[in-house]
Amino acid sequence: MKNLGSVFAAYLIGWSVFFLFYITIAKRTSDLRSEIERLKNSLPRGK
């Protein structure tokens, strides 16, 4: 039963890394989505 703490730590750290990576992608994706909307709205005006 020793070292189980290290195992937990390893899994937790690993999952946090994946989770963090996913969060950054999701955030950038939603930012881009609003940017696309903004650009699409500005186009008909320009043309």
Partner 1 sequence: MAKRIILGAVALLLVIAAAYASFFVAPTERTMGDIQRIFYFHVGSAWAAMDAFFVCFIANLLYVWKRQQKYDSLAVSCAEVGLVLTTVVLITGPIWAKPVWGIYWTWDARLTSTFVLWLLYISYLLLRSLIEEADRRALLSALFGIFAFIDVPLVFFSIRWWRTQHPAPVIMGGSGSGLDPTMNKVFFFSVFAMHVLAAFLIVERYVLEQMRHDIELLQREAEA
Binding site for partner 1 (CB under 8 A): 1-4, 6-7, 9-11, 13-15, 17-18, 21-22, 25-26, 28-29, 32-33, 35-36, 39-40, 42-43, 46
d(CA 19, CA 2) in angstroms, rounded, equals 27
d(CA 28, CA 32) in angstroms, rounded, equals 6
Least spacing, CB of residue 17 vs partner 1, in Å? 5
Least spacing, CB of residue 8 vs partner 1, in Å? 9
Least spacing, CB of residue 31 vs partner 1, in Å? 10
Q: What is the DSSP string of 1-23?
A: -TTHHHHHHHHHHHHHHHHHHHH
